[in-house]
Amino acid sequence: MNDDQLLRYSRHVMLDAIGIEGQRRLLAAHALIIGAGGLGSPVALYLGTAGVGRITVVDPDSVDITNLQRQIAHNLSRVGQPKAESVKQTLGAINPDVQVQALVRRADAALLDELLPGVDIVLDCTDNFRTRHAVNAACVKHGKPLVSGAAIGFDGQVSVYDTRQPGAPCYACLFPPDAAFEDVACATMGVFAPLVGIIGSVQAAEALKLLAGTGTPLAGRLLMLDALSLRWDEIAIARQPGCVVCGQGG
Per-block average pLDDT, block size 10, for the chain (250 residues)?
93 96 97 97 98 98 96 97 98 95 97 98 94 96 97 96 92 86 63 97 98 96 97 96 80
Residue 247 lies in a domain: no
Residue 242 lies in a domain: no
**For residue 164, what is the domain's CATH number?**
3.40.50.720
Is 249 a member of any domain?
no
Amino acid at 238: A
Task: Give the contacts of 179 (CB within 8 A, at least 6 positions apart).
Answer: none
Q: CA-CA distance, 92 to 81, in Å (whole number)?
A: 16
User: What is the model's pLDDT at position 248?
Assistant: 62
Residue 245 lies in a domain: no
Question: 250 in a domain, yes or no?
Answer: no
The number of folded domains in the chain is: 1
Contact yes or no for 79/61 (Cβ under 8 A): no
Domain that residue 16 falls in = 3-236
Residue 13 inside a domain? The answer is yes
Residue 248 falls within a domain, yes or no?
no
Pairing relationship of beta strands 221-226 and 30-34 according to DSSP bridges: unpaired
**Sheet of 121-124, strand order:** 99-103, 54-58, 30-34, 121-124, 146-152, 155-161, 221-226, 231-236
